[in-house]
Amino acid sequence: MTSPVPAFWSPRIGALEPYVPGEQPRIANLVKLNTNENPYQPSPLAIDAIQQAAANGLERYPDPTSLALREAVARRHGLKVEQVFAGNGSDEVLAHAFFAFFQQAEPLLMPDVSYSFYKVYAQLYGIACELQPVDDGLRIDIEAMAARARGGCAGIVIANPNAPTGIGLPLSRIEQLLAACPDRVVLVDEAYVDFGGESALPLIDKYPNLLVVQTLSKSRSLAGLRVGFACGQQHLIDALVRVKDSFNSYPLDRLATVGAAAALKDEVWFKTTRDKIVDTREGLSLQLEDLGFEVLPSQANFVFARHPQRDAAELAALLRERAVLVRHFKQPRIAQYLRISIGTREQCSVLVQRLQEILTETP
Ligand SMILES: *Cc1c(COP(=O)(O)O)cnc(C)c1O
């Protein structure tokens, strides 16, 4: 970056390339399939808990340890509460983990196609990254990554299922990475795991270098509440707590703590809404294929698809003119793909209709 740094800025601020979230425009009757939000409401138990907490007053600070939430996570996943850390969205949890574990002499390893926020955190904290190319099917090359890790690294970060491809890895592949990188943390970001992925949480007692991060934004419909958590052996959690308590003692407010804890206890609501999304995803994938798209196999609440004859950026713009938002990433290797979040069945059928119109009416 050669642009001059404005007065008052710390020297490194001008060089940052911040993450750009998907847009949240105010358009009437918008079909919003661009940020992987859940189209269904959160559990009514969560709403009740939030309303009750608000009625009980907000004049006191919340519990700085978010114990009620961490207990709910521990109970749901068969962990000890000391193995759970909670934060203001998993993005914050990820940032703390980067700060706590990856500031090392060697570079941090990550796939070249992955959640684009990882590179932003690395830049913020001055962590060098080494991007491992995914294969031609956009699959993470575990053999290559494990081999590279054995040569020494600051750690590994992957999303499983991966973003924005939706492709999941079996646990045996995660174990391969954990074994290849025993002296550094392997961070597995499971933002989408509930939609069909295989969670690494059962491996925590076996691997002292495993940190698993999850969010309530996607499968629990609580993107607006901002709650995420990390699970790992206590020595990793202790490091995250040290970072958190050097940054913000109260990242989770009273409403978020109780709302998230209640949502984690509503297994019926969770399964019902999750199953609808998985079912809609499978139907949408087939419909997109009928329209000529190539659709990657998804284990997430979105699909990643390209049309061999049509430019992806142009398709996204034409959809936007028709009040349908999908996400397009202007990035090498994936510039011809669209990432389409799974909405309700009605929203997805509007998308398919609009795509049909575009493909037949525009050159
Ligand atoms: C959505 C997402 C997150 C962020 O989740 P929040 O808890 O809403 O901050 C993290 N990682 C990946 C891969 C995601 O897609």
- Digit-coded pLDDT (tens) for 70-79: 999 999 999 9
Q: Give the number of other Cβ atoms within 10 Å of residue 86's Cβ.
A: 28
In this prediction, residue 147 carries a pLDDT of 98
Residue 2 has pLDDT above 60, yes or no: no
CATH number of 6-41+268-361: 3.90.1150.10
Average pLDDT over residues 9-20: 92
Q: From CA 120, how far away is CA 208, in angstroms rounded?
A: 26
pLDDT at 13 over 70: yes
Mean pLDDT, rounded, of the chain: 96
Give the bridge partners for 86, in sequence order: 229
Decide: 319 and 351 in contact? Cβ < 8 Å.
Answer: yes
Residue 3, pLDDT > 80, answer: no
- What are the tens digits of pLDDT across the range 48-63? 999 999 999 999 999 9
Distance 187 CA to ligand 1 centre (A): 14
Quote the tokens at residue 288: 């997109």
Inform me whether the pLDDT recorded for 1 exceeds 70: no
341 lines ligand 1 (CB under 6 A): no
228 C-beta closer than 6 A to ligand 1: yes
Average pLDDT over residues 218-236: 98
The CA distances from residue 332 to 112, 113, 337, in Å, are: 9, 9, 11
Q: What is the pLDDT of residues 189-223, one digit of tens each?
A: 999 999 999 999 999 999 999 999 999 999 999 99
List, in sequence order, every beta strand (DSSP E) within 219-349.
228-231, 294-295, 302-306, 324-326, 338-341
CB of 187 sitting under 6 A from ligand 1: no
Give the nearest ligand 1 atom to 159 CA: 13
Q: Apex CA 203: angle with CA 201 and CA 204, to 5°? A: 75
Q: Give the number of other Cβ atoms within 10 Å of residue 116's Cβ.
A: 14
Distance CA 124, CA 98 (A): 10
Mean pLDDT, rounded, for 338-351? 98
Is ligand 1 within 6 A of the CB of residue 159? yes
Residue 50 has a pLDDT of 98
* Residue-wise pLDDT tens digits, 120-162: 999 999 999 999 999 999 999 999 999 999 999 999 999 999 9
DSSP 181-249: -TTS-EEEE-TTGGGT---SGGGTTT-TTEEEEEESSSTTS-TTT--EEEE--HHHHHHHHHHHTTT-S
Portions of the chain given CATH number 3.90.1150.10? 6-41+268-361
Q: What is the pLDDT of residue 229?
A: 98
Q: What pLDDT, on a 0 to 100 scale, did the predictor assign at position 195? A: 98
pLDDT at 29: 87
pLDDT for 106: 97
Domain 44-265 belongs in CATH node 3.90.1150.10: no
Residue 41's alpha-carbon distances to 45, 180, 192, 222, in angstroms, are 11, 41, 17, 8
234-290 pLDDT, tens digit per residue, is 999 999 999 999 999 999 999 999 999 999 999 999 999 999 999 999 999 999 999
Give the model confidence (pLDDT) of 82-135 as tens digits.
999 999 999 999 999 999 999 999 999 999 999 999 999 999 999 999 999 999
Nearest CA to ligand 1 atom 11: 191
Atom of ligand 1 nearest to the CA of 115: 13
CB 145 within 8 A of CB 130: no
Radius of gyration of the chain (CA): 21
Query: Which atom, in ligand 1's list, is nearest to the CA of 91?
Result: 9
**Which are the contacts of 9, defined by CB distance < 8 A and separation ≥ 6?**
none
pLDDT by residue (tens digit) across 15-45?
Answer: 999 998 888 888 888 999 999 999 999 999 9
Cα of 217 vs centre of ligand 1, distance in Å, is: 7
Share of the chain above pLDDT 90, in %: 93
Query: For the chain, where do the domains classified as CATH 3.40.640.10 start and end?
Result: 44-265
Kindly state if the Cβ of 191 falls inside 6 Å of ligand 1: yes
pLDDT at 283: 98
- Closest ligand 1 atom to Cα of 227: 7
Atom of ligand 1 nearest to the CA of 36: 1
Whether the CB of 91 sits within 6 Å of ligand 1: yes
**Cβ pair 299, 192 in contact under 8 A:** yes
How many CB atoms are located within 10 Å of the residue 13 CB?
A: 12
Of 3-7, 49-53, 358-362, the range with the highest mean pLDDT is: 49-53
Tell me if 200 sits within 8 A of 63, measured CB to CB: no
